[in-house]
Structure 1
Amino acid sequence: MELRHLRYFVALAERLNFTAAAEQVHVTQPTLSHQIKQLENELDLALFERNERRVSLTAAGMLFLPRVIEALRVLDGGTALLKASTGSLTGHLRIATSQTFNIVIVPRTVLLFRQQHEGVRVTIEELTLADMTQSLRDGDMDLAIAYQPTEDRDMEFEPLCDEELVLVTRTDHVLARRKRVRMIELHGRDMVMLPQRFKTRQIIEEAFASAGTVPNVIIESGTIPSLLTLVRETHAPTILSRHALPPDSTLKAVPLESPRPTRTTGLIYSSGRPRTPIETAFGALLRKVAASHVGL
Structure 2
Amino acid sequence: MELRQLKYFLKAKELLNFTDAARALNISQSTLSQQIKQLEDELNVPLFNRIGKRITLTEAGDLFSNYASQSINKANEGLLLLQDLKNLNTGKITVGVIYSMRILFAKILIQFADQYPNIKIQVVFGTTKDLLEKLNLHQFDFILTFHEKPTNAQLKYQTLLKTNMVLVTGKRSPLAQKTNISLNEVAALPLALPFSGYSTIQFIEESFSQKSLIPNICMEINDIPTLFEIVKTGHWHTILSDTSVNDPDVVAIPIDGKNMRRTIMIISLREAYEKKAVKKFHEMLTKI
Fold agreement, TM-score > 0.5 = yes
Equivalent residue, structure 2, for 1:261: 260
Q: 2:169–2:238: 8 Å Cα contact kept in structure 1?
A: yes
Structure 1 CA distance, aligned partners of 2:257 and 2:108? 34
Unpaired runs of at least 5, structure 2: 1-82
Query: Following TM superposition, by how much is the alpha carbon of 1:212 offset from its aligned partner in structure 2, in angstroms?
Result: 2.8
Q: 1:88–1:118: 8 Å Cα contact kept in structure 2?
A: no
Deviations 1:236-265 (A, max 9, x none): 11000111112x521011111145512100
Query: Following TM superposition, by how much is the alpha carbon of 1:268 offset from its aligned partner in structure 2, in angstroms?
Result: 0.6
SS in 2 for 1:207: helix
Query: Following TM superposition, by how much is the alpha carbon of 1:211 offset from its aligned partner in structure 2, in angstroms?
Result: 2.7
Query: Following TM superposition, by how much is the alpha carbon of 1:195 offset from its aligned partner in structure 2, in angstroms?
Result: 2.1
Equivalent residue, structure 1, for 2:284: 285
Deviations 1:34-65 (A, max 9, x none): xxxxxxxxxxxxxxxxxxxxxxxxxxxxxxxx
Larger radius of gyration: 2
Amino acid at match of 2:252: A
Distance 1:149-1:139 versus aligned 2 partners, 3 A rule: farther
SS in 2 for 1:100: helix
Q: 2:95–2:124: 8 Å Cα contact kept in structure 1?
A: yes
Q: 1:211–1:258: 8 Å Cα contact kept in structure 2?
A: no
Query: Following TM superposition, by how much is the alpha carbon of 1:94 offset from its aligned partner in structure 2, in angstroms?
Result: 0.6
Distance 1:241-1:250 versus aligned 2 partners, 3 A rule: same
Equivalent residue, structure 2, for 1:139: 138
Deviations 1:148-184 (A, max 9, x none): 2644332111001101010000123232221110101
SS in 2 for 1:125: strand
Structure 2 CA distance, aligned partners of 1:159 and 1:185? 31
Distance 1:133-1:149 versus aligned 2 partners, 3 A rule: farther
Q: 2:96–2:125: 8 Å Cα contact kept in structure 1?
A: yes
Q: 2:91–2:120: 8 Å Cα contact kept in structure 1?
A: yes
Structure 1 CA distance, aligned partners of 2:202 and 2:109? 29
Equivalent residue, structure 2, for 1:128: 127
Deviations 1:13-41 (A, max 9, x none): xxxxxxxxxxxxxxxxxxxxxxxxxxxxx
Aligned residues: 204
Structure 2 CA distance, aligned partners of 1:152 and 1:128? 18
Structure 2 CA distance, aligned partners of 1:249 and 1:234? 14
Unpaired runs of at least 5, structure 1: 1-82, 291-296
RMSD: 2.1
Equivalent residue, structure 1, for 2:34: none
Equivalent residue, structure 2, for 1:16: none
Q: Does 1:161 align with 2:161?
A: yes
Q: 1:170–1:231: 8 Å Cα contact kept in structure 2?
A: yes
SS in 2 for 1:185: helix
Structure 2 CA distance, aligned partners of 1:179 and 1:211? 22
Equivalent residue, structure 2, for 1:173: 173
SS in 1 for 2:218: strand
Structure 2 CA distance, aligned partners of 1:230 and 1:106? 24
**Sequence identity percentage:** 22
Q: 2:93–2:121: 8 Å Cα contact kept in structure 1?
A: yes
Equivalent residue, structure 2, for 1:228: 228
Structure 1 CA distance, aligned partners of 2:234 and 2:268? 39
Structure 1 CA distance, aligned partners of 2:284 and 2:95? 14
Q: 2:93–2:277: 8 Å Cα contact kept in structure 1?
A: yes
Equivalent residue, structure 1, for 2:185: 185
SS in 2 for 1:278: helix
Q: 1:133–1:155: 8 Å Cα contact kept in structure 2?
A: no
SS in 2 for 1:203: helix
Amino acid at match of 1:157: Y
Q: 1:210–1:259: 8 Å Cα contact kept in structure 2?
A: no
Equivalent residue, structure 2, for 1:270: 269
Structure 1 CA distance, aligned partners of 2:192 and 2:208? 14
Amino acid at match of 1:131: D
Amino acid at match of 1:158: Q
Query: Following TM superposition, by how much is the alpha carbon of 1:213 offset from its aligned partner in structure 2, in angstroms?
Result: 2.2
Q: 1:175–1:181: 8 Å Cα contact kept in structure 2?
A: no
Structure 2 CA distance, aligned partners of 1:260 and 1:253? 17
SS in 1 for 2:286: helix
Structure 2 CA distance, aligned partners of 1:170 and 1:233? 7
Query: Following TM superposition, by how much is the alpha carbon of 1:226 offset from its aligned partner in structure 2, in angstroms?
Result: 1.4
Distance 1:175-1:93 versus aligned 2 partners, 3 A rule: same
Amino acid at match of 1:125: V
Distance 1:205-1:163 versus aligned 2 partners, 3 A rule: same
